[in-house]
Amino acid sequence: MAAYKAPIRDMQFILHEVMAAENLFAQMPGTVEVTTDLMDAILDSAAQMAEEVLAPLNRSGDEEGCRFDKGEVYTPVGFKEAYRAFAQGGWIGLSGDVQHGGQGMPKMLAVLFEEMIMGANCSFALYPILSAGASLALARHASSELKDEYLPRLYSGEWSATMCLTEPHAGTDLGIIKSRAQPQADGSYRLTGTKIFITGGQQDLTRNIVHLVLAKLPDAPPGPKGISLFLVPRELPSAHGEPAVFNQVTCGSIEHKMGIKASATCVMNFDGARGYLVGELNKGLACMFTMMNYERLSIGLQGIGLSESSYQTAVAYARERLQGLAATGATNPAGPADPIIVHPDVRRMLLSVRADVEAGRALALYVASQLDLAHFHPEPGARARAANLVALLTPVAKAAFSDRGFESCVLAQQVLGGHGYVREWGLEQNVRDARIAQIYEGTNGIQALDLAGRKVVRDREGLLEILATEITAFLAQESSADGLQDFLNPLRDALGGLSTTTLWLKQAAAGNPDEIGAASVPYLRLMVLVLYAYMWARMAKVALAALQNGTGEAYFYDAKLKTGRFFIARVLPGYSALIAEIRGGSAPLMALAADQF
């Protein structure tokens, strides 16, 4: 099997040439010192960590898995040493608050780093990514005392963190959680309840584990408006800042899963554990969703990273595996057969994966750029516009990258035929590992419902209009560009289809609320195709200019254009079928009585 190699050149292409990160960072005081040289140095160091430290533990970690014994969880051989090296490299605090020991790097860099570690070893990656996300929530919402106490140790990797939302009876519907927080005279709270599916809830990588827990006070309002967020450490720090006192937080068991077996997925019990309020009472969901918006993008990157890893293995195999002859005549006359990469259907599978990965990577950086604008930009108007785009695109990105990432892993596995089904090549593990990303951090069906319902039909902020206006302006600006019309015209048609379908959905939902849920998944997929076409048009613009100007690397830019043209010709036309599916309405879905299933 091919060893994972970080796709540095493509990352640099999107970061520097397509998104012009240097120009963006120069506009904002908090990022003005992030230069091209610094970005490239970070990418090179990240690639070394992913390729040399994490990737070699991927298969062995899957085979060994985590072990649960008498309330303790043990990670696979090599994980503790790798985590120590990871933490010493400062990677957990890459985007952290500089006042508490973080490096303050923009999300655009963190996205590329997270894709690398997800592609190299996604089970391992989940531990530090959860810590980084929890640290973000604390940095934005916790008291100064909690920040001073916890953030430096989380950024350093001395301690780790989790988020505890789901309960045995409450997944998506968090308003019905049963975990309770009892106020104490000293201002702290005693938390009681059980949480399930807690990534890294217990492990042997760090000295202490800090849980961010959703719970309700005894007199809290019913539903989501009564949820508060609490910081609950496994061990209470002593006066010297060292873990010292056990805090009645225990792990009851770990799950036995289809994939990500080296990531401990825990049942956590809180038996009167001491906790501290984060943010305001009864506004815990708002605080937690600060973390969730970043985490959902990170989990989507699991799909992109594993797709890239799978593509590398599939391409290497297709170049070497000899089977059959090319339809136009033998290309390997000295051998018994031609390599399978000559066959159109093999190329269809490989190009489908490649086109998706490269468009997804570009969209991930685009969303990350909006997160950076929303956080760092000095102008309130620019921050507000970016925040609106983040609200619109977060569910799209999470669902798109994980859905299409899983499909890409399956396609890459198919390229290998029977060899893809056996463990030695690594693709069956990628398929198993990728599957969970469609489920956790909010199932993709929920992401689609959030998009179609809250962000489109019931939207009062004009979220979609902001995006459509931007794409329309790009189309107008580039309308006379030589060689770009093959990208612009299909994008214009797809955007028009999205606009008319959106109007149809709003009108249909006004008469029948079921239309939102019936349309939500194909509507999200429709928007993804439009967004990917937009990304490909932007990438094609840069590639064409580079070829016309003779700036070098013609081979790279030529391949970029050919991949983009495949997407436009063979993938984008699927938007018409999605529009037809949406307009099919809710009646065929709702006609069957429950007892007829």
Class of domain 8-141 (CATH, top level) = mainly alpha
280 catalytic? Reply is no
Phi and psi (nearest 5°) for 164? -115, 100
8-141 shares its CATH topology with 161-282: no
Q: pLDDT tens, 413-446? A: 999 999 999 999 999 999 999 999 999 989 999 9
Question: pLDDT value at position 243?
Answer: 58
Topology of the domain covering 161-282: Butyryl-CoA Dehydrogenase, subunit A; domain 2 (2.40.110)
Residues in the chain with pLDDT values less than 50 = none
Question: pLDDT value at position 197?
Answer: 97
Residue 1 C-beta-side C-alpha neighbours within 13 Å: 25
CA distances (Å), origin 451, targets 11, 580, 583: 28, 19, 17
First to last CA, the chain: 44
- Residue 156 in contact with residue 148, Cβ under 8 Å? no
Lookup result for tokens 């349309």: 519
Torsion, CA 325, CA 327, CA 333, CA 338, rounded to 10: -40
Among candidate residues 438, 448, 378, the one with its CA nearest the CA of residue 409: 438
Cβ-based neighbours of 52, under 8 Å, separated by 6 or more: none
Lookup result for tokens 């043990």: 74
Question: pLDDT value at position 164?
Answer: 95
In angstroms, the CA 564 to CA 492 distance is: 16
Among candidate residues 262, 527, 567, the one with its CA nearest the CA of residue 399: 527
Catalytic residue among 115, 167, 441, 515: 441
Residue 270 C-beta-side C-alpha neighbours within 13 Å: 34
Which residue spans within 240-303 are E strands per DSSP? 243-246, 249-254, 265-278
Question: pLDDT value at position 555?
Answer: 96
Residue 401 is classified by DSSP as: H
Cβ-based neighbours of 364, under 8 Å, separated by 6 or more: 111, 115, 297, 300, 301, 304, 397, 401
Phi and psi (nearest 5°) for 117? -75, -30
Assign 216 to helix, strand or coil. Answer: strand
Domain boundaries, the chain: 8-141, 161-282, 444-591
Among candidate residues 194, 324, 326, 340, the one with its CA nearest the CA of residue 267: 194
- Residue 299 in contact with residue 282, Cβ under 8 Å? no
DSSP letter string, 5-62: ---HHHHHIIIIIIS-HHHHHHTSTTTTT--HHHHHHHHHHHHHIIIIIIGGGHHHHH
Cβ-based neighbours of 87, under 8 Å, separated by 6 or more: 128, 156, 157, 158
**E strand or H helix that includes residue 214:** strand 208-215
Phi and psi (nearest 5°) for 158? -65, -40
- The sign of the torsion formed by the CA atoms of 370, 374, 377, 382 equals positive
Question: pLDDT value at position 242?
Answer: 62
In angstroms, the CA 548 to CA 381 distance is: 37
Centre a 10 Å sphere on the Cβ of residue 130 and count the other Cβ atoms it contains: 23
Residue 277 pairs in a beta bridge with 230
